[in-house]
Each structure stands twice: as C-alpha cells, then as structure tokens.
Structure 1
Amino acid sequence: MPQPTTRARPTGHPGYSESLPRKPESAATARRLVRLALTAWRLDDLADDGALIVSELVANAVRHARRQSIRVVVERVAPRTVRVAVADFSRTLPVPCTPKDDAEAGRGLTLVAMLAVNWGTDERRWGKVVWAELGTRG
C-alpha cells in the first residue's frame, strides 16, 4: 500500500496527500488520512466532521469523475483551519441538489456545506479540486 506524501506548508505544518484508485473503497483510506493529519496537528475535535466530509467528496469523485485515480489532500492552512480536498480529472463542477425525501443519494454537498466553514471548487486545466475547510470551535 502506498504511503501518504507529506510536504511543508506556509503554516509550518506538513500537508498530507495520497493518490487513490477511483473506487468506493478509497473513502476508507481517505478517512484514515484525514484522521492521521488531524491527530498529528492535535485537532482531534475536527476528526469526525473531516472524515465525513472527505467521504462525501470521494464518493462524488468516484461517481462523477473520469480516469482511474483521485488525489486526496489534507493541509493546515491556518493554525486552527484545515482544508480537505479531492482532486479528479473531470471538469464538470459539483452542484448541490435537493433530492426527494425518499432518495438514497444527493445530499452529500449539502452535508459538506453544513459541516464546513467554507467549501468550493478550484477549476484546473486537467480537472478540478473540490475542497472544504474545517475550523476549530472556540
């Protein structure tokens, strides 16, 4: 199993990233990566929300992207703010929707928006990066 990549960031903390297969099973690896980073930064209070957010972002990439891989990135952009991102090779932008009450899917981005301080999409020539920022309370 490939090891996560770490790289120093402007905040002085390493960022964590890993390329994963575009498969539903990759959500579990992405959750572990997020929890690892948050534990290293002593931001454990963000772990549950971060794990749920990355699960939703990975699920969207698995469902809508193309090619065989995605990239998960976790970085500390400020002392009390963490950005969780998933990059994929689709240029189709995510759009939150309002599913019917009995629908089993379609609530992921709404959930991300509820849990995150901020979220968005950065377009790239090769695809996009969908990200969400988490901040500690207090």
Structure 2
Amino acid sequence: MPAFSRDTLSPPSVARAARTPAPGHAVSFPASPRSVAAARRFAGRLLAEWGLHDLADDTALLLSELVTNAVVHGCGGTGDIELSLGRTPAHLLARVTDPGGRAPLCRQAAEDSENGRGMWLVEQLADGWGHHPSGTGTTVWFTLPLPGPR
C-alpha cells in the first residue's frame, strides 16, 4: 500500500476545520511514553463531560497511536506534545501537535511486524484524518462522527 495522507481525501469542510480553532480543550504533555496514558485519561474525562461516551474507545485508541507517533517520531524524546479536542456540529476533532516536522505515513506492515500499523488504524476508524505544518511543528488530526439523536 502506498504511503499517503487522507487529508487530500477528506471532505474540504473537515480538512478546513482541522486547521482552524474549534471550541474545546487543549493540554500539553512531555515527550514521554507516559503521555500516551495521560492523553487517554484526558480524552476520557472530557468525552464523559460532553456526554460522548460512545466515542471513548475509538478516541482512546486513535489518540494512543498519534501520541505514540509524536513521542517516537515527532519529538525525538524532547519537547512537548499538544493535544486538543473539540467539536464541530457533526464531528469530534482531535489534534496532536509535536515539534518535529515529519509527516505521518500510512503503510502496510509486514505480517510478522510488531509495529507500523498505527496510521492504518487511524485510516480505518476515523471519519477523516490528515496532517499539516503548524507554527510549532506538525499537527496530525482525526475526526469521528458525533452520535446522532436517539
């Protein structure tokens, strides 16, 4: 599978929203493996506050992948990672910004590989995802559709 970013495949309104501030909350974490669990806890608390329990598992999984990538590939173990969660009328929007300039790659991992599937998971579960340069490095984002009325 070729490496690509879904940013060019997402609807223009979603890609545009990912580049502009959305109402929500942001937090910074050190570039440490411990930050992966801290990001999941932050998201879980915020989603519970917003009544979006149905999105908690997918959000935790996708944030784990993006924060891990930021720690391993984006920061080189130094600097801070910023996580922001917001909502558009139809989507949850998650953004992870690291001080590095590397773009994420979605590629097929070998069957016996222990890693390399993170962005593939994002590709499979997210409604849209992409990346763009930010003032402090690279921002990788994903969206999940908000649950409809019951």
Give me the TM-score of the superposition, normalised by structure 2: 0.78
Higher relative contact order (CA 8 A, sep 6+): 2
Q: Which moved more, 1:19-28 or 1:33-42?
A: 33-42
Task: State how many pairs are aligned.
Answer: 126
Q: Is the 8 A contact 1:16 1:33 kept in 2?
A: no
In structure 1, runs of 5+ residues without a counterpart are: 1-8
**Equivalent residue of 1:29, what SS?**
helix
Q: Tell me, in whole angstroms, the C-alpha distance in 2 between the residues paired with 1:28 and 1:85.
A: 16
Residue number among 52, 55, 61 corresponding to 1:46 in the alignment: 55
* Higher relative helix content: 2
Q: Would you tell me which structure has more strand in proportion to its own residues?
A: 1
Which consecutive segments of 4 or more residues in structure 1 shift more than 2 A?
none
Letter in 1 for 2:84: V
8 Å CA contact 2:101, 2:133 repeated in 1: yes
Q: 5+ residue gaps in structure 2? A: 1-20
2:130·2:141 contact (CA, 8 Å) conserved in 1?
A: yes
Query: Residue type matched to 2:140 in 1?
Result: V
TM norm structure 1: 0.85
For 1:21, give the aligned amino acid: P
In 2, are the aligned partners of 1:120 and 1:132 still within 8 Å (CA)?
yes
